[in-house]
Amino acid sequence: MVTLISLSEMIDAAVGAEDTARAVYLGFVRKFSSVPEVSAFWQTMADDESDHARILSSLYVHIIEADRHAPIDARMAEKARALGKLNAATLLNSVKNLDDAYQVAYDIESSEINTVFNFLTIRFLTQDESYDIISATIDRHLLRLAQFSRKFGSVEECCRVAASA
């Protein structure tokens, strides 16, 4: 049986997940500081996550107090709960090279984070606002990751770029 959560809890979980993703990317900035172009890439990804958290936090002004405590759909509650399982330290400790970092980033970006982000922005902003936000943030963010191998090389080449401790 699924335990429901409130809309406020879902927003808080989504903001927390964006903060965790940001912490991971900032960890990559440090792990790859010896390769400035790679470090700059991860800094941009971290900055994107900061924007996502800010956008989610701003949703509260669009939600009346009574709705903040209303239970949300059980499927979305499960997705929000999954966000709380992200652990920056564990993810960072698993990274030994640039390909590992890419795999972690891919897993983060294909997790429930974007599903919940899109759900919340579409549900509580106007159609134009949500379209603009999704186009300007999520689409651009995912496009950066999609262009990763073109920018930094093949899996083999990325495996040769060691992460610092």
* Residue spans per domain, the chain: 7-159
- List the pLDDT tens digit at each of the 165 positions of the chain: 667 888 898 899 999 999 999 999 999 999 999 999 999 999 999 999 999 999 999 998 888 888 888 888 777 778 877 877 889 999 999 999 999 999 999 999 888 888 888 888 888 888 888 878 877 777 788 888 889 989 999 999 999 999 998
Which of 114, 91, 116 minimizes the C-alpha distance to 104?
91
String of DSSP letters for 100-142: HHHHHHHHHHTSHHHHHHHHHHHHHS-HHHHHHHIIIIIIHHH
Q: Which pLDDT score is estimated for 124?
A: 81
Architecture of domain 7-159: Up-down Bundle (1.20)
